[in-house]
């Protein structure tokens, strides 16, 4: 967040080719006069062409594995495209219509957003608190930092299996524990909100420590003298935390939310493995079916790659819209909270 | 200076860490008992003596050695590829001036928001056309370069390499590639290590793409877990022993390089 | 400091790489080793799901055929195997040399018959029951799948729980209580009145599937047009969903964790049992005493499942694969598979083989399972018509029942969702 991306990279304009120098595509110097000696021309080419040489492997590969699929998804989405039979007739926007008309589309969208909200909201609050606790002069601070990061090394599939074993509807440990304290069991795979909570727990468990460390970094950048003067004014630790630390790290909080948007909206492994049998697809009534699961469902269960692609594109649009909303929010918060 | 924090802080943090560790302990706990343990009313508190036996059954039920090998191979090769290509491009963006660098960098940043897994359909069609489905290399394909990698290296290198150093090298008549090699690469090392670790993690834990493109007899660790999960009898001792086994390699990596992880995440925050 | 950390990373990654290389080398050792080298031994892979009872048979084959070594690859349930199968069919590679197909999914596979080897062999004419052979033959008359087992159904029941509820426990007497579905459900109501803690049958989905196997055209007309709004299907749906309120169903999804746990927790007293289900029951109910097997099926007889072996066209060794598939589906071998796990033969000559007829099952109170299943097979009068969408529609239908089971929908709401699911299939 410290770099302004719109300025030319590299900073000082002292090096390399002169600004008026040859454009690499033209390859010929524009200023004719004294023809540069061979060595110098070689050096010139070295300077102008090398950057392209450095970035081109990345861009070439990225075009194949990053850009081509996105564009080609759009192509597939306007065709009848069977998983096994392959490309069929051009059908225009019919696949999009079929997806939008399918009641599961809206359901998956709502589920995805609900799980996302349930997982990022409490997670950020908890992460702020943990970061605040870590931002003290702890003994063995690195050990503590590593410890909170522990769940991050467990893959989502493993997380889903571990938590799945706890959230059985009838014979699970969580329900038994609820029974010990006199509560009635929860239908974790049936009740829509409960299933979202169960899945959000998995996400929160894995990511809270990670985000706490990001927030910790932001907290450590808060000038210490702010606290000292607050301390002189008699503000307690908690008070200082709420009135100084939290406002100061607000941009980072937004950053954390944005980065988790892209991943969070694509959630797949956790809900997929939360199903009680592989024949299901996010619960009997799609209580916890997500958008990415719908892509998988269309493509690999119903074997219709056309509709799968249309769903993927729609999900992409949703992500863009939400990311833009976030971006607008960030700018607002930035202008409100001063620069940092 | 400030006082050392009191019991409350340690207590709260301790509780959080305990909560973080508990599911892992549960996984090992169930994995070390016979399957009857899950049908008992009150679960045991201490591990039992059946872990090795359960682990053996994991290896019998799914090709777990192969899965481990595949995951290690794909993750480390992919991480290396990302580090190589992204350091090269990141260095160019950070320290070299060239036409179009700003729009190209913007392009990279914008595409960071593009969820690569949404391209699964064409990637699958492509893999099928090439006959690569079922091969572990297909699992690596979407990750061999990442926009994030370029951005991350660029952000790091902007500050890490003083322009004067590059200038000096060039005045000495160094070619660009030598400048990169003698100045860029050494400076990039800490960030490259972090990028390597994170890419490794990302590929290791990926589930969606390998589920589509790999098969049960040549899986990655995550797909082997999926296979255990969709088994006929839901045997949680087997399943959670497998989960524990699947977590061990990353746990080793984490213990060995935890500081890097921590500093990587914290740097990413400041830079990002 | 920084430098030392880097070294540690390098060490760690170096160690990981070394491990990688080692593991991959180890992993490749046992690789398919298609060994396309001429003259050398051929290794065939055979993919099965659930239990086929083939372990000993494959050992026997491998000992007798050093040139064609067979390796079995087992996955969990058919649903898992199916995803895998279709993905690889689409990819055009990666399938095993012999792929097992679940009977209800066979019609969909026949629609893709060009992807499979024609296994027609005059020498095998008459090996299978007519309906079984027909179910493995595509529209052009090519035999795509060799039948393995059939699924004649009886009723598995818990004699101990029957006794507690004041019902008779003797096999013959129990059989007298459930000659029709009405009787079966009425007995169930008596049972749950006396033992409200325990459900009558294991799952709505399983029971409905048993009922559907007596309907001539459950989902599709003979010309493959989808017709799910037919009175027979609606009758099954209504009967099963009405039973939910009466407490007859465990309300659990078949094959789920809780379902498996219900075997251990006295969750239910009866279930529809095709031959291959006997092994599933004894596996899940390991340690539970009181199971028995009655020579009866509501509504007469019914066939549930039973699989096929196919040879995908992508196989490098279609001839060898065909040879092996023909051998292992021969009557003698299937009779042994029956002895191993209860998969009842679909081969004519195996039906009166002594190993089959004299078979008893200790877990089921020494019930004469061979004789019972033979009787049950003889009682089958209807072979339902199953078109290419059968398997997909069945999955949607069972989800519909589950929504009523778990209370997320009323019966009417769930039916509407089912209709919408079916319309999304075409």
Residue pLDDT, tens place only, C346-396? 999 888 888 889 999 999 999 999 999 999 998 988 889 999 899 899 999
B93 vs A contacts (CB less than 8 Å): 9, 55
* Nearest Cα to Cα of residue C257 among B40, A170, B42, A158: A170
| Spatial separation of the C-alpha atoms in residues A288 and A189, rounded to whole Å | 8
- Cβ of A55 within 8 Å of Cβ of B1? The answer is no
- Kindly state the average pLDDT of the residues C140-169: 94
Which residues are bridge partners to C143 per DSSP? C137
Exposure of B203 in the CB half-sphere (CA atoms within 13 A): 30
**How high is the pLDDT of residue A335?**
61
Start-to-end CA span in chain A (Å): 8
Residues of B in contact with A58 (CB under 8 A): 85-86, 88-89, 145, 150
* CA–CA distance, A149 with A141 (Å, rounded to integer): 13
Beta strands in chain B (DSSP E): none
- Residues C268 and C201: beta-carbon distance below 8 Å: yes
Q: Which tokens is C266 given?
A: 């006295």
Given a contact as 3+ CB pairs under 8 Å, which chains touch C?
A, B
Distance in Å, alpha carbon of B101 to nearest chain C alpha carbon: 31
- Pairing mode, strands C42-49 and C68-75: parallel
DSSP-derived letter for residue C48 is E
What is the per-residue pLDDT across A317-328, written as a single tens digit (0 to 9) for each?
Answer: 888 888 788 778
Distance, CA of A268 to CA of B211 (rounded, Å)? 11
Residue A148: its pLDDT value, please?
Answer: 93
Provide the percentage of residues in chain A whose pLDDT is more than 70.
86
- Cβ-count burial of C189 within 10 angstroms (0-12 exposed, 13-18 middle, 19+ buried)? middle
Strands C268-274 and C199-201: parallel
Record: contact C16-B70, CB cut-off 8 A: no
Q: What are the C-alpha distances in Å from C47 to residues B57, C90, C101, C312?
A: 19, 17, 9, 11
The Cα C206–Cα C82 span in angstroms is: 19
pLDDT at B35 over 90: no
Task: Please report which residue ranges of C39-149 form alpha helices under DSSP H.
Answer: 55-64, 78-91, 106-110, 130-135
β-bridge partners, A81: A87
Tens digits of residue pLDDT in C37-76: 455 789 999 999 888 889 999 999 999 999 999 999 887 7
Cα separation, C306 vs C346, in Å, equals 8
Would strands C344-345 and C149-150 be described as parallel, antiparallel, or unpaired? Answer: antiparallel
**Cβ count within 10 A of residue B150:** 32
Beta bridge partners of A336: none
Q: For residue A336, how far is the Cα from the chain centroid?
A: 25
Q: Which of A84, A187, A276 sits opposite C112 (nearest CB)?
A: A84
DSSP state of A275: S
β pairing state of A86-90 and C42-49: unpaired
**DSSP track, A1-52:** ----TTSPTTS-TTSSS-TTS--TTT-S-S--SSPPPHHHHHHHHHHHHHHH
Name the residue of chain B whose CA is nearest to A130's CA.
B13
Interchain pair B258, A24: CB under 8 A: no
Cβ neighbours, 10 Å, residue B129: 12
Contact yes or no for B101 and A8 at CB 8 A: yes
Rg (CA), chain B: 23
Inter-chain touch A168–C261, beta carbons under 8 Å: yes
Judge contact between C308 and C147, C-beta under 8 A.
yes
How many Cβ atoms are within 10 Å of B46's Cβ, its own excluded?
Answer: 7
Token pair for residue C369? 């399972």
Query: What mean pLDDT, rounded, does chain A reach?
Result: 82
| Contact between B259 and C264 using a beta-carbon 8 Å cutoff | no
Would you tell me the crossing angle of helices A38-62 and B64-95 to the nearest 10 degrees? 140
What is the tens place of the pLDDT at every residue in A21-68? 333 444 444 455 566 677 777 777 777 888 898 899 999 999 888 888
pLDDT of C78-88, one tens digit each? 887 888 888 88
Reported ipTM: the value is 0.90
Which position has the higher pLDDT, A338 or C230? Answer: C230
Sheet containing strand C98-102, strands side by side: C68-75, C42-49, C98-102, C307-310, C145-147
Q: Work out the mean pLDDT of chain C and round it to a whole number.
A: 87
Confidence of residue C280 (pLDDT cuts 50, 70, 90): confident
Find the range with the poorest average confidence among A71-75, A77-81, B39-43, C199-203: B39-43
Tell me what percent of the residues of chain B surpass a pLDDT of 90: 36
C314, C355, C373, C327: which is closest to C95 by C-alpha?
C314
Q: Which of A82, A99, A25, A24 is closest to B121 using CA atoms?
A: A82
Residue B73 to residue C20, Cβ atoms within 8 A: yes
Give percent of chain C above pLDDT 70: 91
pLDDT of residue A237: 82
Digit-coded pLDDT (tens) for C305-360:
889 999 999 999 999 999 999 999 999 999 999 988 888 999 998 888 888 899 99
How many angstroms separate the CA of residue A116 from the nearest CA in chain B?
16
Q: CA nearest C291: which of C156, C381, C167, C412? A: C156
- Highest mean predicted confidence (pLDDT) among A89-103, A163-177, B148-162: A89-103
CA distances from C346 to A151, C52, C60, C122 (A): 51, 13, 21, 18
Q: How far apart are the first and last CA of chain C?
A: 64
Q: Structure pTM?
A: 0.84
Average pLDDT over residues C141-156: 94
Interface of C with A in 202-231 (CB under 8 A): none
State residue C84's pLDDT score. Answer: 82
B chain contacts of residue A164, beta-carbon cutoff 8 Å: 229
Span C185-193, average pLDDT: 96
DSSP class per residue in B113-176: TS-GGGGHHHHHHHHHHHT-TTSHHHHHGGGSS-HHHHHHHHHHHHHHS-HHHHHHHHHTT--H
Q: Pick the most confident of A178-182, B59-63, B266-270, C244-248.
A: C244-248
The per-residue pLDDT for A296 is: 92
Q: Measure CB to CB from residue A155 to each of B123, B246, B261 and give the nearest one.
A: B246
C90 close contact with A: CB closer than 8 A: yes
- In this structure, are residues A302 and C425 in contact, taking their beta carbons and an 8 Å threshold? yes
DSSP C249: B
For C54, the token pair is 């083939």
Percent of chain C with pLDDT over 90: 66
Q: Of C383, C391, C395, which is closest to residue C132 (Cα–Cα)? A: C383
Radius of gyration of chain C (CA): 24
**B178-192, C114-128, C239-253: the lowest-pLDDT one:** B178-192
What is the C-alpha to C-alpha distance for residues C63 and C101, in angstroms, rounded to an integer?
A: 26
Residues A204-262 have pLDDT tens digits of 999 999 999 989 988 988 888 888 888 888 878 888 888 888 888 888 887 788 778 77
For every residue of A183-216, DSSP letters joined together read PPP--TTTSHHHHHHHHHHHHHHHHHHHHHHHHH
- pLDDT per residue over A104-161, tens digit each? 999 999 999 999 999 988 999 999 999 999 998 888 888 999 999 999 999 999 999 9
């Amino acid at each position: 967040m410290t770099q302004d991306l719109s300025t030319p990279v590299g900073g000082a304009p002292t090096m390399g080719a002169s600004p008026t120098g040859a454009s690499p595509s033209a390859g010929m110097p524009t200023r004719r006069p004294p023809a540069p000696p061979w060595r110098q021309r070689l050096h010139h080419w070295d300077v102008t062409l090398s950057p392209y040489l450095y970035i081109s492997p990345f861009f070439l590969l990225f075009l194949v594995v990053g850009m081509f699929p996105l564009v080609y998804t759009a192509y597939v989405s306007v065709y009848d495209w069977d998983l096994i039979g392959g490309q069929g007739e051009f059908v225009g926007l019919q696949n999009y219509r079929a997806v939008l008309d399918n009641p599961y589309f809206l359901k998956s969208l709502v589920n995805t957003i609900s799980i996302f909200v349930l997982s990022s909201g409490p997670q950020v609050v908890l992460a702020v608190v943990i970061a605040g606790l870590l931002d003290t002069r702890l003994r063995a601070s690195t050990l503590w930092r590593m410890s909170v990061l522990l769940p991050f090394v467990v893959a989502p599939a493993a997380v889903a299996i571990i938590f799945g074993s706890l959230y059985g509807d009838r014979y699970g440990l969580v329900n038994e524990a609820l029974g010990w304290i006199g509560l009635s069991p929860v239908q974790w795979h049936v009740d829509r909100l409960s299933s979202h909570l169960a899945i959000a727990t998995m996400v929160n468990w894995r990511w809270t420590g990670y985000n706490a460390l990001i927030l910790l970094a932001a907290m450590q950048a808060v000038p210490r003298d702010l606290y000292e003067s607050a301390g002189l004014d008699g503000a307690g630790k908690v008070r200082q935390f709420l009135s100084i630390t939290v406002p100061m790290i607000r941009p980072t909080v937004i950053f954390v939310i944005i980065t988790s948007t892209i991943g969070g909206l694509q959630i797949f492994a956790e809900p997929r493995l939360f199903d009680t049998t592989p024949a299901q697809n996010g619960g009997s009534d799609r209580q916890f079916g997500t958008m990415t699961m719908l892509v998988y469902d269309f493509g690999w269960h119903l074997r219709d790659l056309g509709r799968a692609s249309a769903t993927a594109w729609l999900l992409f649009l949703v992500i863009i819209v939400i990311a833009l909303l976030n971006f607008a929010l960030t700018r607002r918060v930035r202008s409100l909270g001063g620069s940092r | 200076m400030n006082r050392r924090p009191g019991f409350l802080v340690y207590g709260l943090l301790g509780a959080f860490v305990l909560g973080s560790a508990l599911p892992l302990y549960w996984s090992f706990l169930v994995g070390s008992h016979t399957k009857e343990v899950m049908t008992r009313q009150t679960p045991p508190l201490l591990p039992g003596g059946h872990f090795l036996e359960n682990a053996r059954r994991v290896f019998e039920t799914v090709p777990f050695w192969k899965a481990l090998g595949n995951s290690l191979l794909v993750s480390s090769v992919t991480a290396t590829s990302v580090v190589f290509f992204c350091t090269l491009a990141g260095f160019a963006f950070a320290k070299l001036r060239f036409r179009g660098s700003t729009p190209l960098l913007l392009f990279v940043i914008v595409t960071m928001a593009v969820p690569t897994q949404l391209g699964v359909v064409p990637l699958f069609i492509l893999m099928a056309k090439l006959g690569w489905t079922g091969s572990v290399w297909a699992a690596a394909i979407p990750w061999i370069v990442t926009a994030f990698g370029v951005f991350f290296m660029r952000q790091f290198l902007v500050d890490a390499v003083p322009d004067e150093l590059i200038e000096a090298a060039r005045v000495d008549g160094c070619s660009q590639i030598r400048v990169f090699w003698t100045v860029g690469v050494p400076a990039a090392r800490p960030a490259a290590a972090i990028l390597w670790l994170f890419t490794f993690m990302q590929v290791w834990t990926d589930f969606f793409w390998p589920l589509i493109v790999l098969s049960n007899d040549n899986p990655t660790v995550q797909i082997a877990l999926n296979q255990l999960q969709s088994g006929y009898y839901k045997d949680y001792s087997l399943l959670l022993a497998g989960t524990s086994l699947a977590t061990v390699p990353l746990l080793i990596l984490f213990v060995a390089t935890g500081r890097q992880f921590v500093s990587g995440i914290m740097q990413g925050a400041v830079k990002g | 400091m920084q430098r030392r950390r880097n070294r540690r990373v390098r060490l760690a990654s170096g160690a990981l790489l070394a491990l990688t290389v080692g593991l991959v080398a180890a992993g490749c050792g046992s690789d398919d080793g298609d060994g396309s080298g001429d003259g050398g031994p051929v290794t065939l892979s055979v993919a099965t799901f659930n239990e086929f009872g083939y372990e000993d048979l494959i050992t026997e084959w491998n000992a007798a055929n050093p040139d064609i070594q067979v390796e079995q690859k087992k996955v969990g349930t058919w649903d898992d195997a199916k995803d895998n199968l279709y993905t690889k069919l689409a990819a055009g590679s990666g399938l095993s040399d012999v792929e097992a197909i679940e009977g209800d999914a066979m019609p969909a596979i026949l629609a893709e018959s060009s992807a499979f080897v024609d296994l027609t062999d005059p020498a095998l004419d008459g090996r299978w029951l007519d309906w079984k052979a027909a179910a493995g033959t595509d529209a052009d008359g090519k035999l795509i799948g060799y039948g393995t087992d059939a699924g004649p159904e009886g009723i598995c029941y818990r004699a101990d729980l029957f006794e507690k509820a004041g019902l008779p426990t003797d096999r013959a007497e129990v059989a007298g209580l459930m000659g029709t579905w009405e009787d079966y459900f009425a007995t169930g109501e008596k049972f749950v009145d006396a033992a409200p803690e325990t459900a009558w049958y294991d799952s709505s989905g399983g029971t409905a599937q048993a009922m559907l196997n007596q309907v001539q055209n459950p989902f599709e007309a003979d010309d493959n047009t989808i017709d799910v709004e037919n009175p027979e299907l609606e009758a099954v749906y209504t009967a099963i969903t009405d039973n939910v309120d009466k407490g007859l169903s465990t309300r659990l999804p078949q094959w789920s964790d809780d379902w498996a746990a219900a075997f251990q927790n006295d969750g239910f007293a009866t279930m529809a049992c095709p031959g291959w289900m006997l092994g599933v029951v004894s596996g899940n109910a390991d340690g539970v005493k009181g199971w028995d097997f009655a020579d009866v099926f509501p509504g007469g007889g019914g066939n549930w499942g039973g699989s096929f072996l196919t040879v995908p066209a992508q196989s490098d060794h279609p001839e060898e694969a065909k040879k092996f598939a023909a051998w292992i589906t021969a009557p003698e071998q299937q009779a042994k598979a029956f002895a191993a796990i209860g998969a009842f033969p679909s081969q004519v000559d195996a039906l009166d083989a002594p190993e089959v007829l004299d078979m008893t099952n200790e877990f089921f109170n020494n019930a004469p399972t061979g004789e019972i299943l033979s009787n049950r097979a003889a009682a089958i009068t209807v072979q339902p018509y199953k078109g290419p969408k059968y398997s997909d529609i069945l999955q949607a239908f069972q989800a519909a029942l589950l929504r009523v089971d778990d209370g997320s929908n009323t019966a009417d709401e769930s039916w509407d969702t089912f209709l919408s699911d079916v319309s999304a299939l075409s």
